[in-house]
Amino acid sequence: MQKFKEASMKFIFLLCALISIAAVILICIFLFANGLPAIKKIGLWEFLGGMKWSPTKGFFGIFPMIIGSIYVTAGAIIIGVPIGVFCAVFMAKFCPKRIYRILKPAVDLLAGIPSIVYGFFGLMVIVPIIQNIFGGSGKGVLTASAVLGIMILPTIINVSETAIRAVPENYYEGALALGATHERSVYKATLPAAKSGITAGVILGIGRAIGEAMAVKIIAGNQAVIPKSLLSGVRTLTSNIVLEMGYATDLHREALIATAVVLFVFILIINLMFSLLKRKEK
C-alpha cells in the first residue's frame, strides 16, 4: 500500500510538471506562430526600430514602447529593490516579534491587492503629488515607476526574507564569535550567503514590473513616443496591447501579438542575463 501511494504521488508530480511544460510550449507556439508572420510582413527593422505607431496609416514601429518599458522597469527597480531587500533584512534579523506580527500580514496583503487598485491609487494619490511638485499632468515615467516599485515590493520582500532565514545560523554565530557586531554579522555573513535567493526575488519582481499592464495604462500617459524626461508620458509594450487588442483586426491584431513576442523575448533575455551572472559568481 505504501509503495502504491508513493508511485501514485510520483506520477501526479510528474503529470503536474509535464502540464506546466506543455502550457509554456503551447504559449510559445501560439505567440510565435501568430507574431512572426506579422514581423515578416512589416519588416524586422521597421517593427523594432520604427519610431511611429499608427496602425490606421500602416505604421507599426514599437521602438518608443520598448524604450518606455525599459525606463519604467528601470525606475521600478531603482525604487523597489533597495526598499524590498532592506525590508526583508529588517523582518528577518532586526524586527521585534510584536511589530513582525503586524508587518508580515501587511506585506502579504500588498501581494493580494489587484493591479487595477494600484492604478487607481497612483491616479488619486501619486499623480496629484507629482502635479503639485513638478507641474504638468502628473502622468509619466516617474509616476508609473513609483507605482510599479510599490507593486513589486511583496514579491521581493517575501522571497528575500525566505532566503535570508534559510541561511544556516552558524554563519551569523561564527561572525559574532570573531568579534563582529550584530549588524556587521548580518550584512557581511548572512546576506552574501542568501544572495542567490535574493537575486531570484529581484528577477521575479522585474518580471512583474515589465509585465504589468492595467496599472501602467492608467497612470503612464499612454503616449507612443520616446519620453524626454521622467515627467513625460509613456506607453509600454503591455499597455499598448491592452489598449488596442479589443478592436484590432488583421495586420493590426497580428502586430499586437508580435509585440507580445518581443515582450516574451525581452523577459527571456533578462532571465538569461541573471542566470549567467549567477554562474559567474559561483
Looking up residue 82, the CATH number of its domain turns out to be 1.10.3720.10
Q: Is residue 157 part of a domain?
A: yes
Q: Which residue has the cell 518581443?
A: 262
The predicted structure's pLDDT at residue 278: 66
Which pTM does this prediction carry?
0.84
CB environment 73-88: b (16+ within 10 A), e (fewer): bebbbebbbebbbebb
Q: Is residue 25 part of a domain?
A: no
The predicted structure's pLDDT at residue 15: 92
Query: Which domain range does residue 112 map to?
Result: 65-245
The predicted structure's pLDDT at residue 282: 57
Q: Is residue 53 part of a domain?
A: no
Q: Is residue 261 part of a domain?
A: no
Q: Per-residue pLDDT for the chain (282 aa), expressed as one digit of tens each?
A: 777 778 888 889 999 999 999 998 998 888 888 888 888 888 888 888 888 888 888 888 889 899 988 899 999 999 999 999 999 999 988 888 898 998 899 988 888 888 888 989 998 999 999 888 887 788 888 999 999 999 999 999 999 999 999 888 888 888 888 888 888 888 888 888 888 888 888 888 888 888 888 888 888 888 888 888 888 888 888 888 888 887 878 888 888 888 888 888 888 887 787 777 666 655
Q: Is residue 166 part of a domain?
A: yes
Number of compact structural domains in the chain: 1
